[in-house]
Amino acid sequence: MTASRAPAEPAVREFESTVERVDGREVVLEETYFYAESGGQPADRGTLAGVLVDDVTERDGEVVHVLGEDPTAGGAGDVEPGEVVTGVIDDDFRTYCARAHTASHVLYGAARRTCEDLGYAGFDISPEKVRVDLTTAEPLDDEDLVELERLSNRAVWESRSVSWEVLPEAAARDRDGIAFNTKTEEGAMSGGESVRVVTVEDWDVAACGGTHVENTAEIGTITALDRSNPGEGVTRVEFAVGPTAIDRVAARHAAALEAATAADTNVEDLPDEVRRLRGEVDRLDSALRDAQSDLLGARLAEFPTSEVDGVVWAVGTVADADPNDLREPAKALLESEADVDALAAVGTGSAPFVVAAAVPDADADAGEVVGAVTDEFGGGGGGGPTFAQGGGLDADPESVVDWLRSR
C-alpha cells in the first residue's frame, strides 16, 4: 500500500522516490506526495521524471500516477522500476486547493453558528469556485448567505490555527461536534479503523482526508457567489477564495458603483432606489397593459359584422398582438355589444393566428370555428365554446377573414 503523504505534509512540493511499478502510462512509487483525487478535492498537477502528470488516482490501496503521452515511447517514457525519480507538484494549484479545502471547513464552521439541524452533504473544488452542500432545517436565503460570508472572513482574519491528526475511529467519533460523513469524505478513513481529523481552532472539527493550510489567514478572502437547492433539504453554497475571490469582489464593487451612477444614487442607498424603481416599472407596466387592452378593444369594435347561420359575427385583422392579449378585450366587446354574438380576429405578421370568442348563449362554438379554420388553412389550436385560438396558419390573413365572412 502506498498512501499519499500529501495530507500529512502538504507543504512538500518536490520529492524523490523509487519507482515500484510501471504499466504503460501508469506509475506507482514507493512513496509519493502527489494528492490523489478524493472527496471533492481534485488531483495534484505537476511532473514526474520531467513528464507531465495527467491524473493521480487511488486504486486498490495504491496511488497511481498517470503520465502524459510520450510520442516516442508510448508509455511512461524512460521510467523503469527501481529507478529513483523526482516529482514536482504544481505549487499554485496545490496552494489553491489547500486554501479552498480549508475554506470549506471554515464555512461549515460558520454554518454551525447560524443553521439548525446542520449536516454535511459533500463539497467540490473547481478552478474558479468551491461548493459546499449543507443539510439544514430550513433552506438558506440571501441574508443567510451574507452572514456565512461575514463569519467565514472573520475566522480568516482571526488567524485560527489548522491542525490534523490520525485517531482511532472510536476516539474520532467521540470528538464533540465532529462533522463525520465517510460517504462524502473519502480519504478520511486512514486504513480501516483510523480516521484523519482536521481541526480549525475553536471553530470546526471534521473527518477529512484533504490537504489544508496551517492557519486560516493563509486562505485569504472568501466571497460567497451563489446558493441553490440541488435536492430536498440541501442548500448548495458556492464561493471563491484567494485571488479569485478578490477579483470577484472588485467586479461586484464596480457593478454596484455603475448601477448606483445609473440610478443617480450611492451604493448604500441603491437597494431602496431599486425597490422604488421596480415599483414604478410595475405601475407603468400595468398602465401600459391597460392601454394596450383598450387599444385592442377599440380595434375589435371597428370590425365589420356579418351574419353566418343566424349568428352575428364581427370579423377582422389585428396587428402587433398576441392571441392571449385578445381574450379580455373580446370578452368585454361581446358583453357591451348586444348586437354581436361572436367575434373572430386574425393576427397579421410572419405567423398568422386566429382567435374566436362567443357569448355563452349564442348558437356558435368558438372552438369549432378555430378547428374549421385550421382544417382549411393548416396549423393547429383549440379551446372551448366561448374562447379558442389557433396558430401556424399557412395563408394570407385577409384570405382567412374573407373565408370566415363567407362560410
Confidence of residue 70 (pLDDT cuts 50, 70, 90): low
Asked if 149 and 223 count as a contact pair (C-beta separation under 8 A), the reply is yes
What is d(CA 177, CA 179) in angstroms, rounded to the nearest whole number? Answer: 6
Whether pLDDT at 222 is above 70:
yes
Radius of gyration for the chain, computed over Cα atoms and rounded to the nearest angstrom: 34
- List the grid coordinates of 135: 443539510
**Residues, the chain, total?**
407
- List the grid coordinates of 264: 443617480
Q: What is the pLDDT of residues 139-180, one digit of tens each?
A: 899 999 999 999 999 999 999 999 999 999 888 888 888 887
Q: With pLDDT > 90 as the criterion, what percentage of the chain qualifies?
A: 55
Residues with Cβ within 8 Å of 214's Cβ and at least 6 positions away in sequence, in order, are 11, 161, 162, 163
Whether pLDDT at 237 is above 50:
yes
Whole-model pTM: value is 0.73
Name the residue with higher pLDDT: 163 or 308.
Answer: 163
Q: What is the pLDDT of residues 193-207, one digit of tens each?
A: 788 999 999 999 999
Report helix, strand and coil shares of the chain as percent, to nearest 5: 35, 30, 35
Confidence of residue 71 (pLDDT cuts 50, 70, 90): very low
Whether pLDDT at 185 is above 60:
no
Distance (Å) of CA 50 to CA 43, 73, 76, 93: 18, 14, 11, 18
What is d(CA 67, CA 218) in angstroms, rounded to the nearest whole number? Answer: 31
What is d(CA 270, CA 103) in angstroms, rounded to the nearest whole number? Answer: 30
Average pLDDT, the chain: 89
| Residue whose C-alpha cell is 485560527 | 160
Distinct helix (H) and strand (E) counts, the chain: 8, 19
pLDDT score at 151: 98
Q: What is the pLDDT of residues 257-283, one digit of tens each?
A: 999 999 999 999 999 999 999 999 999
Q: Which segment, 122-136, 296-310, 390-404, is predicted with the most confidence on average? A: 122-136
Segment 347-365 mean pLDDT: 85
- Where do the domains of the chain lie, and which CATH numbers do they carry? 14-89 (2.40.30.130), 94-262 (3.30.980.10), 297-406 (3.10.310.40)
Whether pLDDT at 188 is above 80:
no
Confidence of residue 213 (pLDDT cuts 50, 70, 90): very high
